[in-house]
Chains A and B, each alone.
Chain A
Amino acid sequence: MKVKQISVFLENRKGRLYEVLNVLATEKINIRALSIADTADFGILRLIVPDPDAAKKVLEKGGFTVKENNVIAIEVPDRPGGLSFVLKALQDCDINVEYLYAFVAKSQKDAIVVIRTENNDGALKALKHGEVKVLTPEELYGL
């Protein structure tokens, strides 16, 4: 089951990240998780929010460059070796990870990891095979 993530292009300008977050705050959109990929002169902000379509709309209206992507969210046991076990399942199926980021939700005892791969369908199969718990959109956004 794939879930939606919002990516926002950020040019290297003072206050630009604040401006994105301020739009979301004004529209009362809560952020479940975020990650920033940065290079010398620009970055990409990645967000998991309860209503990705609505978030995309308000950000575009605010003049930001936004894209929705499919990613996979999984539960990883919060203990040493939890994540490496998951990655092994992907490696065994020769699936390359583009990026991932993790967060811990208050109501959960396990950690949540968001993964983007070059082949999400293959990754889902591999994870299922490795008996990794994949979250549905409802489970993820409802956290």
Chain B
Amino acid sequence: MTKRYWQKDIETISRRSLEDLQVKRLRSVFSRLYRTVPNFQSKCRESGVKPSDIESLKDIVKIPFTTSEDLRGGYPDGLLAVSRDKAVRLHTSSGTTGKPKALFFTKKDINQSADLIARCLTMTGTGSGDVLQNMMTYGLFTGAMVMHYGAEKVGALVIPAGPGSTERQVALMKDFGTTAVHILPSYALYIATFMARHGMDPRKDLSLKRAYMGAEPYSEKTRQKIESIYGIDVYNCYGLTEMNGPGVAFDCMERSGLHLWEDQFILEIIDPATGQQLPDGEQGELVLTTLCREAMPIMRYRTRDITRVKPGKCPCGRTHRRISRILGRTDDMFIIRGVNIFPQQIENVLMGIRGVAQNYQIVLESLDDITIRVEIASDMFDGNIERLLAIKKEIIEKVRSSVLVRPDVELLEPGTLPVADGKAKRVIDERTL
């Protein structure tokens, strides 16, 4: 029988014991950080909070938020809470503007993050006997390394393929019978197009059973599309470099929300405008506090990811609360004609239309106009111009009724939009405001 839990006691701990554990860990990590990181202590003094003020979980709101600007400000090692010789690994999070964020890991940190991945893989059926092809970027980015360590831990054979070289990826999957992949959704769709163009059928020519996808937001429709092309199960994974990388929250086999490992993180949902906590079920910005990290504990980190807590118990038996798939980023949201729009809303419409291929771009040219560039699916092209015009019209109508703004639509040849090794760039903002 396949193993269901990696750390059963902690994964199925009662809510009450879990909350007791959280308070204990929060008090301990907060006072350690207060003592060892002068920057943090002065910030707390400004907010008027000291370690003895933290008595229950509710007191967390007294602790000031940490933003990505704070992490950049601490670059290179201003937020390190252990002596530097205890750190054994460094990762950075790419900064699109200014300095990167540097994250240190001790041996214990590496082991803990691998354990979280091991929990995630075990609960989705990956273990000894599986072959996991890791198509994320190895290097400063946490995505590939953390998954790699966790997959080795559960006994899977790991192929550290990295992204790109599609022909070789396909050959590796075929030759070594890859059963699971860790991959960006945009790249999974690209490989499917590549295989179709070379006369291959992912359902027949590969032994894939499941894919782990995260690192870039994608819609439920995209997940369904990938599942049907490959004949596999797709599991959402959520993580960010600031919180160890992947494995923070993960779909179980129920796939009705991602369990966020609350023994290691405190989860809050806040209103991004006011900073006030929101009750379970309401949509807002995810805020995370690390409870077990040694090298760089982070208090109340503003992830800028928009999600909500799914209320209720999960039939899988795990007691850690679930978050919904990431609905957007507070910084990806754009405003057209006064309407707040997330790229995922448009993606959800596009992926539900027959004849539309994997890739799209949203181009913002002015405050009022939005152009959507979409690739047509090559198998849907029948040489008939009316058919293409009908697809275009369908996109315009469906997007308009979903986001209340009428877009311009440009149909493109398949494979013409750039697919980067990193995250696909969905929104091109050409506005000069």
Q: Which residues of A contact B (CB under 8 A)?
A: 5, 7, 9-13, 37, 39, 41-42, 44, 46, 60, 63-67, 69, 98
Contact = CB atoms under 8 A, between A and B. Distances in A.
A12 B411 CA distance: 9
B1 interface: no
A67 B381 contact: yes
Interface of B: 197, 376, 378, 381-385, 388-389, 410-416
A44 B416 CA distance: 17
B416 A9 contact: no
B413 A44 contact: no
Contacts of B385: 37, 39, 44
Given A9-B376, A42-B388, A60-B197, A65 B411 contact: no
- Interface of A: prevailing SS: strand
Contacts of A11: 410-413, 416
A60 B199 CA distance: 11
B165 to A, nearest CB: 18
Contacts, number: 46
Contacts of A37: 385
6 contacts: A11-B411, A37-B385, A42-B411, A44-B385, A65-B381, A69-B382
Given A39-B388, A44-B385, A67-B383, 15 more contacts: A9-B376, A9-B413, A10-B413, A11-B410, A11-B416, A13-B416, A42-B410, A42-B412, A44-B388, A63-B415, A65-B378, A65-B413, A66-B381, A67-B381, A69-B383
A13 B373 CA distance: 13
Contacts of A98: 384
Of B385, B414, B416, chain A has the most CB atoms within 10 Å of the CB of B385
A72 to B, nearest CB: 15
Nearest to B386: A98
Nearest to A46: B383
B348 to A, nearest CB: 23
Contacts of B382: 7, 67, 69
